[in-house]
């Protein structure tokens, strides 16, 4: 059986890649881009750097900087209106996963109209929106190389998964130098997000030979370098490895799928506004423990790719080392429990059924090696408080 692989048309990878944007725009025949970003990217000067590089080539662009973490239907509408009222022929998505996800939604809605709810899964969005050039500034979501976006519906606190080639950027400029200013907390959260992408792509029931190669390579880059990047943000070698690993993990899961961690993570983010990478980190050890029995060899491969087990370890030994490593990583990167994060226990417990339903409805748990029941998801959520 063959597998369809979808990638950005252009990938520019390495230090200074973001400065190659004039040539990329020219190759796409685009002359009037809109930068979609957030206030932090403006404050750090990254947006003006892109504008300066482009103005030197007589390309002038506006900036929309009102994207928010964990984007919502409401938060993207001003950007949609800006696109509809302008004559833009491309979008430059600059920032972490939230600005890139926002840009993907804006590119589709700005061109085709309708409501974001019209585009949520199970609809597959193959229509092309405005071409997106993604410039990630975190080593985490891999959104620059995925056919997904996540937008929250404020009406019911549902994180809507939107899928299709229409959301795939046409170009990804993967420049690790843009991550050198990331604070430790964001480095940790986005790094564990990337590790989760790689692991879930590899153990997913939709894994294939291509996604396997990307996922294993991603784990081998991320696992040895995440602590280094967290402890010393100026460690260029660690930052470069994390950035490439994040992109490869994005390619891996975009061409396979995510699984139970992501299915359960989205409701925690939607109801309690926990950053996506952090809610993944909270769940990764316990979901891995739940799932290992259904794919022991696959999880052992993960342990070996991450460098925490070797060829001398049998499957059971490798899997125990994997679980030990995931717990140790959370401890060292100071990943809080839901209680330590400040989530109200009573409200959390009152929402267990709704969160489990949303997790199952996302479809992601069905890709897990061990497909959970509603009740099993509830029990995993409960165990986060023990």
Residue 13 pLDDT > 90? yes
Q: What is the pLDDT of residues 294-348, one digit of tens each?
A: 999 999 999 999 999 999 999 999 999 999 999 999 999 999 999 999 999 999 9
Q: What is the pLDDT of residues 99-147, one digit of tens each?
A: 999 999 999 999 999 999 999 988 999 999 999 999 999 998 999 999 9
Nearest alpha-carbon partner for 253 in 26, 65, 44, 6 = 6
Residue 386 pLDDT > 80? no
Q: What is the pLDDT of residues 336-350, one digit of tens each?
A: 999 999 999 999 999
> What rounded mean pLDDT belongs to the chain?
95
- The first and second tokens of residue 335, run together, are 């990943």
Q: Any idea of the CA torsion for 141, 80, 263, 365, to the nearest 10 degrees?
A: -110
pLDDT score at 122: 87
Q: Give the pTM.
A: 0.94
Residue 36 pLDDT > 90? yes
pLDDT score at 180: 95
Residue 286 pLDDT > 80? yes
């Amino acid at each position: 059986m063959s597998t369809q692989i979808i990638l950005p048309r252009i990938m520019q990878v390495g230090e200074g890649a973001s400065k190659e944007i004039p040539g990329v725009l020219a190759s796409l025949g685009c002359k009037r881009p809109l930068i979609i970003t957030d206030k932090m990217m403006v404050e750090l000067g990254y947006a003006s750097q892109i504008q300066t590089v482009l103005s030197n080539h007589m390309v002038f662009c506006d900036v929309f900087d009102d994207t928010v973490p964990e984007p919502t239907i409401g938060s993207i509408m001003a950007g949609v209106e800006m696109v509809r009222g302008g004559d833009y022929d491309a979008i430059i998505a600059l920032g972490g996963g939230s600005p890139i996800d926002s840009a993907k939604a804006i590119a589709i809605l700005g061109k085709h109209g309708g409501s974001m709810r019209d585009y949520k899964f199970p609809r597959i969005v193959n229509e092309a929106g405005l071409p997106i050039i993604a410039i990630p500034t975190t080593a985490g979501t891999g959104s620059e190389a995925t056919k997904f976006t996540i937008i929250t519906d404020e009406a019911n606190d549902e994180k809507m998964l939107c899928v299709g080639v229409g959301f795939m950027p046409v170009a990804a400029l993967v420049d690790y130098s843009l991550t050198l200013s990331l604070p430790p907390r964001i480095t940790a959260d986005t790094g564990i997000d990337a590790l989760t992408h790689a692991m879930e792509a590899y153990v997913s029931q939709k894994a294939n030979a291509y996604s396997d190669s990307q996922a294993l390579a991603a784990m081998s880059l991320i696992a040895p370098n995440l602590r280094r990047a967290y402890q010393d943000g100026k460690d260029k070698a660690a930052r470069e490895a994390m950035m490439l690993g994040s992109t490869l993990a994005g390619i891996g899961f975009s061409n396979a799928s995510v699984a139970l961690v992501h299915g359960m993570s989205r409701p925690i983010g939607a109801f309690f506004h926990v950053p996506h990478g952090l809610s993944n980190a909270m769940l990764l050890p316990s979901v891995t423990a739940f799932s290992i029995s259904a794919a022991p060899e696959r999880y052992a491969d993960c342990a070996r790719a991450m460098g925490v087990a070797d060829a001398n370890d049998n499957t059971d030994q490798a899997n125990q080392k994997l679980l030990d490593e995931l717990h140790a990583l959370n401890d060292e990167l100071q990943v809080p429990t839901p209680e330590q994060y400040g989530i109200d226990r009573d409200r959390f417990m009152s929402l267990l059924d709704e969160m489990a339903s949303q997790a199952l409805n996302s479809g992601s748990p069905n890709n897990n090696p061990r497909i959970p029941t509603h009740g099993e998801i509830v029990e995993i959520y409960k165990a986060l408080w023990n």
